[in-house]
Amino acid sequence: MSRAGRCPRVNSRGVWGILLALLLAASAIQVAAYSCHEVRAAFQVRQVGPLHRVPETPGTDVDLLVCKHQGPSCCTRKMEESYQFAVRRETLHNIYLYSYELKHLIARHSDAFQDMFQYLLSFSQGHLSSLLEGTYTPLSRQALPHGNKLFSSLSLHLRGANVSVETTVQHFFNNLFPLVYTRLINPGMVSGMAADTEMTDCLRMIRQDVNPFGPHPAVMAKELSEAMSVGRQLGLFLEEGLEVLNATEHVSLTKDCLKGLVKMVYCSHCRGLTLIKPCVGYCLNVMRGCLASISELDQPWRRYTNLLEQLTNAMVGHHSLELALLGVRGHVNEALLHAQLHGPLITATVDKVCGLTTRAPTGTQPTGPEVTTPSGSSTTPLPSAAPFKPLPEQWLGQLAHLRSSPPLKPSKNNKHSLRTLSRDFLMYLQRYKSFYSALPEMLCEGENVVDDATCWSGDEVVESYTGRVVGNGLHAQRQNPEVKVRSANPSLADVKERLETFNQETQEKFPNLGQMEAWEELGSGETEGSTADCDDEDGCQASGGGQDTTLHTKGSSEVGSLGPELNVPKQNPAKAPSVRVVGGSPSNFWPGPCSLALLFVALCSQWTLF
SS3 string, 24-53, reads HHHHHHHHHHCCCHHHHHHHHHCCCCCHHH
Task: Output the CA torsion sign for 82, 88, 92, 95.
Answer: positive
Contact residues for 72 (Cβ-Cβ < 8 A; gap 6+): 31, 34, 58, 59, 60
pLDDT band for position 168 (50/70/90)? very high
Contact residues for 512 (Cβ-Cβ < 8 A; gap 6+): none
Range from 167-181, 191-205, 212-226, 293-307 carrying the lowest mean pLDDT? 191-205
Would you say 410 and 531 are in contact if contact means Cβ atoms under 8 Å apart?
Answer: yes
Highest average pLDDT, of 59-73, 144-158, 545-559, comes from 144-158
Strands 370-372 and 379-381: antiparallel
Cα–Cα nearest to 535, from 418, 420, 403, 406: 406
Q: What percentage of the chain reaches a pLDDT higher than 70?
A: 66
pLDDT band for position 331 (50/70/90)? very high
According to DSSP, residue 163 is labeled -
Q: What is the mean pLDDT of residues 29-54?
A: 79
Higher pLDDT, 95 or 405: 95
Highest average pLDDT, of 2-11, 550-559, 568-577, comes from 2-11
Q: CA-to-CA distance for 398 and 476, rounded, in angstroms?
A: 76
102 to each of 113, 324, 397, 428, 493, how far by Cα in Å?
Answer: 16, 31, 57, 9, 21
Residue 59 pLDDT more than 80? yes
According to DSSP, residue 211 is labeled -
pLDDT of 513 reads: 77
pLDDT of 512 reads: 81
Cα–Cα nearest to 566, from 339, 226, 394: 339
Range from 203-212, 231-240, 541-550 carrying the lowest mean pLDDT? 541-550
pLDDT band for position 388 (50/70/90)? very low
Strands 461-462 and 455-456: antiparallel
According to DSSP, residue 73 is labeled B
Q: CA-to-CA distance for 391 and 371, rounded, in angstroms?
A: 16
pLDDT of 584 reads: 37
Give me the chain's average pLDDT, please: 74
- Kind and range of the H or E run holding 586: none
3-state DSSP assignment of residue 455: strand
Q: CA-to-CA distance for 465 and 457, rounded, in angstroms?
A: 6
Q: What is the mean pLDDT of residues 528-545?
A: 38
Q: What is the pTM of this model?
A: 0.67
pLDDT band for position 198 (50/70/90)? confident
Contact residues for 252 (Cβ-Cβ < 8 A; gap 6+): 489, 491
Would you say 321 and 117 are in contact if contact means Cβ atoms under 8 Å apart?
Answer: yes
Chain Cα centroid distance, residue 302: 17
Q: CA-to-CA distance for 374 and 383, rounded, in angstroms?
A: 20
Q: What is the mean pLDDT of residues 334-353?
A: 91
pLDDT band for position 109 (50/70/90)? very high
pLDDT of 471 reads: 93
Q: What is the mean pLDDT of residues 172-200?
A: 79
Amino acid at 18: I
pLDDT band for position 221 (50/70/90)? very high
Strand partners, 379: 372
Amino acid at 358: T
- Three-class secondary structure assignment of 536-573: HHHCCCCCCCCCCCCCCHHHHCCCCCCECCECCCCCCC
For 59-91, letters b (16+ CB in 10 Å) and e give eeebebebbeeeebbbbbeebbebbbebbbebb
Q: CA-to-CA distance for 71 and 522, rounded, in angstroms?
A: 73
Q: What is the mean pLDDT of residues 565-572?
A: 37
Residue 24 pLDDT more than 50? no
pLDDT of 267 reads: 92
Cα–Cα nearest to 480, from 344, 352, 292, 353: 292
Q: CA-to-CA distance for 573 and 399, rounded, in angstroms?
A: 9
Residue 595 pLDDT more than 80? no
Contact residues for 57 (Cβ-Cβ < 8 A; gap 6+): 31, 32, 34, 35, 36
Amino acid at 177: F
Task: Output the CA torsion sign for 464, 468, 473, 478.
Answer: negative
Q: What percentage of the chain reaches a pLDDT higher than 90?
A: 43
DSSP per-residue codes, 156-208: HHHTT-S--HHHHHHHHHHHHHHHHIIIII-GGGTTTTTT-HHHHHHHHHTHH
3-state DSSP assignment of residue 260: helix
Q: CA-to-CA distance for 157 and 145, rounded, in angstroms?
A: 18
Would you say 147 and 336 are in contact if contact means Cβ atoms under 8 Å apart?
Answer: no
pLDDT of 108 reads: 93
Cα–Cα nearest to 563, from 349, 357, 348: 349
Amino acid at 167: T
Q: CA-to-CA distance for 160 and 156, rounded, in angstroms?
A: 7
Q: CA-to-CA distance for 106 and 26, rounded, in angstroms?
A: 64
Would you say 297 and 244 are in contact if contact means Cβ atoms under 8 Å apart?
Answer: yes
Strand partners, 206: none
DSSP per-residue codes, 431-449: GGTTHHHHHHHHHTSGGG-
Q: Phi, psi (5° rounding) for residue 11?
A: -65, -35
Higher pLDDT, 501 or 567: 501
Residue 106 pLDDT more than 50? yes
Would you say 483 and 290 are in contact if contact means Cβ atoms under 8 Å apart?
Answer: yes
Would you say 561 and 390 are in contact if contact means Cβ atoms under 8 Å apart?
Answer: no
H helix runs in 463-538, sequence order = 490-509
Would you say 304 and 310 are in contact if contact means Cβ atoms under 8 Å apart?
Answer: no
Q: What is the mean pLDDT of residues 333-356?
A: 89
pLDDT band for position 447 (50/70/90)? low
